Amino acid sequence: MNWQGRFALKRVSAKGAERMCQWLIIGLVLLSFGQRGSAQEGEVYRLVPGDVINIIVLNDQNLSGEQVIGPDGFIRLPLVGAVQAAGLTLDELTERLRQSLARFIRNPRVTVTLKQFPISVRRIYVLGEVKNPGAYQLPPGINPTVFDAVALAGGFTDNADLTRVSVFQRDGQSATFNLREFQANSATISPGDLIWVPPSFVKVGIVGAVEKGGIYPIPVRGTLLDALAAAGSVKEPSATIKVYRAGNELLSISWSDLISGTVPPISLQEGDTILVSVPTIAGVVVAGAVSRPGTYDIKGNITILGALALAGASVEPGRPLQIKVLRQGQEVLKVVWQETSMPTKELTQPLQHGDMVLVEPLVIRATLVGPVRKPGSYLLPVGSTIVDLLAKGEEVLPNADLAGAYLLRKGESKPIDILALLWEGETEANIELQDGDVLLIPAVRKVWVAGAVLRPGAVEYQPRMTVVDAISAAGGPISLDIADLSAVRIVSGNEVKVVNLEGAFQGGNLPTYPLKPGDVVLVPEKAKAYIYGAVFKPGAVRVQEGDTVLTALSSAGGPIPDARLDEARLIRFVDGQAIVMKLDLGKALSRGDLSQVPVMMPGDVLYIPPRHRTQWDIGRVIGITTSLATAVYYLSRTR
């Protein structure tokens, strides 16, 4: 039975223009259908019993012809006998036949095609204004209707136009139903059919010389006049109406020609912009965070909102925009446009010839990836830096390769030495972030050994590695007279453990202190302390009985001009526990306050922060594992 007989539906003639629009829609739908169909045809099909195949053996009619795969899954040919076909693809069966015939025929050329596609493949396509558009498998043994097909796709959306639901067959035939009148109640769907549910309304932007500019829902069959009527009609009879689609001008017509009906009607689409302009201005520049920045020569009045719409400006949730208007070099307007509140009064002001509209984001989105406590994407104020993004991550984990980080920006990468940024105060590395930046901190599988060993630096982590293994991999202690093996420190995350390894390196029992990737082993020298941060010569300094923190500061070359002497920290280990003391060395130097200059003990760590790190919480810096600052910085100087 043909298409008309199966659906028993009269075809309704339409106007020429309407028919042209209908065929344009049908062409787009069929294009989508064709793409899905090609995907289906590209699926690998394996033969099953009952399939009808056509075999052609070049120059041998006795071996050529149709074959039906039997219930046992075999076909039977002269010469070769029974050949299994079920479960094979056409290409696999072709190769099997070629190999079998090669025993009797020199270089046989075999072609196998599927003459009858199996009835088990029952797929339809439901697209458009349904809740779950896509391809659906029909249950065997039923003849579904259009309503059944829509039900498979979850039902209609609120924007569905039930009066113009179309069904397309693979042979090119089609029909349109008014489902509100249950026209398709008895019409059945065949495998391979496509059901298209069109939208009822499209949203278009109307800006310029109208009573109420904005975004309006317009019926799909609505005209340009219907859209303008929704905006309160046109203010000036001399206005020019322009329709923009995807930034390109689709139509330009005078208001008088439009209302006279001399121009063929056009179908509006989702996202179209209708500009109503009066011939008074030209040359408006829109720049900044818009998708189509540039100069717009518009012969007619246009508001700030209209210029933003033409340039593709949009506000995302949580990412407000700052709009500025410059006129003859002077700022005449500055407002903030948020997703929840539009400054309608300000943005509907008319622009003048030569005005410049600047669109600036107030926040950016940057992403932190790698071994930190809280990786992810964060909204940051414009002007934020690498340090601000690191603060969002809260804590850098021990296995982070701070010296090997890099910044991804617009497809390019830039190395960032976070280690030098945090501990040496190299402000060049603290660059300002841009929207879309990604800071990637790689992870390492290494253990660092620092201090009084022959080869201080990173050693490759091995399974079940102990602290003795790590020190041995670093060449062992420099000398038992120099290395203080009774107070070896193991820094792992926020934990610091002090272990006595004197017996292990003097022939005694080997203690088992296991390590993890990223751990730091510090073998201190006897009678040495450490000073880091904003000093000229950071590192280890020798201390003698009675030496104070000022003596150590002098041994390190003194503070650099950027040093915050009032925020100094002294870290001292007592019974394996780190004690942090805040010192005001500026008061000690300027007023002679000796209460701020305690005696330095062997193993003490003095840290002087740089002044520029005002936004970085010094407590957090110390908390990145207290003595880890000392160990990591020492490694950076000795690797």
pLDDT at 593 over 60: yes
Percentages of the chain per state (helix, strand, coil), in multiples of 5: 25, 35, 45
Residues 408-417 have a mean pLDDT of 85
CATH number of the domain at 446-523, please?
A: 3.10.560.10
Q: For position 592, what pLDDT does the model report?
A: 82
Enclosing H/E stretch for 344: helix 344-347
Lowest mean pLDDT among 14-23, 379-388, 483-492: 14-23
**Does 467 or 49 have the greater pLDDT score?**
467
pTM over 0.75: no
CATH number of the domain at 52-116, please?
A: 3.30.1950.10
The whole-angstrom separation of Cα 219 and Cα 129 is: 14
Tens of pLDDT along 268-294? 888 788 888 776 566 788 888 888 888
Q: For position 589, what pLDDT does the model report?
A: 86
Residues 107-118 have a mean pLDDT of 79
Please identify, in words, the CATH class of the domain defined by 528-638: alpha beta
Q: How many residues does the chain have?
A: 639
Q: Name the band, by pLDDT with cuts 50, 70 and 90, for residue 325.
A: very high
Indicate the Cα dihedral angle 547, 551, 553, 557, nearest 10°. Answer: -130
Q: For position 613, what pLDDT does the model report?
A: 53
User: What is the distance in angstroms between the CA of the first residue and the CA of the last residue of the chain?
Assistant: 84
Enumerate helices (H) and strands (E) in the chain, giving the number of each: 15, 35
Q: For position 635, what pLDDT does the model report?
A: 40
- Identity at 408, one-letter amino acid code: L
Q: Name the band, by pLDDT with cuts 50, 70 and 90, for residue 583.
A: very high
Residues 124-147 have a mean pLDDT of 80
Best CA proximity match to 452, nearest among 427, 423, 425, 474: 474
Q: Which of 219-228, 455-464, 613-622 has the highest mean pLDDT?
A: 455-464
Q: For position 115, what pLDDT does the model report?
A: 75
pLDDT at 22 over 60: no
Q: For position 220, what pLDDT does the model report?
A: 79
Q: Name the band, by pLDDT with cuts 50, 70 and 90, for residue 40.
A: very low
Domain residue spans of the chain? 3-41+121-197, 52-116, 202-359, 364-439, 446-523, 528-638
pLDDT at 167 over 80: yes
**Does 408 or 19 have the greater pLDDT score?**
408
pLDDT at 395 over 70: yes
Task: Supply φ then ψ for residue 630, to 5 degrees.
Answer: -65, -50
pLDDT at 18 over 50: no
**Does 352 or 54 have the greater pLDDT score?**
54
Q: For position 96, what pLDDT does the model report?
A: 92
Q: For position 280, what pLDDT does the model report?
A: 58
Lowest mean pLDDT among 16-25, 208-217, 365-374: 16-25
Q: Name the band, by pLDDT with cuts 50, 70 and 90, for residue 25.
A: very low
Q: Which residues pair with 335 in a beta bridge?
A: 323
What percentage of residues in the chain have a pLDDT greater than 70? Answer: 83
DSSP 352-416: -TT-EEEEEESEEEEEEESSBSS-EEEEEETT-BHHHHHHHT--B-TTB-GGGEEEEETTEEEEE
Q: For position 428, what pLDDT does the model report?
A: 81
Spatial contact of 517 and 446, defined as CB atoms under 8 Å apart:
yes
Q: Which residues pair with 65 in a beta bridge?
A: 55
pLDDT at 570 over 60: yes
Does the CA dihedral 304-306-308-310 come out positive or negative?
Answer: negative
Query: Is there a common fold for 446-523 and 528-638?
Result: yes
Q: For position 484, what pLDDT does the model report?
A: 83
Q: 364-439: which CATH architecture?
A: Roll (3.10)
- Give me the sheet containing 488-492, strands edge to edge: 457-460, 446-451, 520-523, 488-492, 495-499
Residues 2-7 have a mean pLDDT of 38
Lowest mean pLDDT among 60-74, 368-382, 553-567: 60-74
Residues 171-178 have a mean pLDDT of 81
Q: What DSSP character marks residue 537? A: S
**Does 301 or 518 have the greater pLDDT score?**
518
Tokens of 353: 């010839």
Please identify, in words, the CATH class of the domain defined by 3-41+121-197: alpha beta
**Does 370 or 137 have the greater pLDDT score?**
370
Q: For position 137, what pLDDT does the model report?
A: 77
**Does 117 or 402 have the greater pLDDT score?**
402
The whole-angstrom separation of Cα 365 and Cα 382 is: 9
Q: For position 451, what pLDDT does the model report?
A: 84
Q: For position 628, what pLDDT does the model report?
A: 43
Tens of pLDDT along 419-469? 888 776 677 888 889 888 899 888 778 888 888 899 988 888 888 889 999
User: For the chain, what is the mean pLDDT?
Assistant: 78
pLDDT at 617 over 80: no
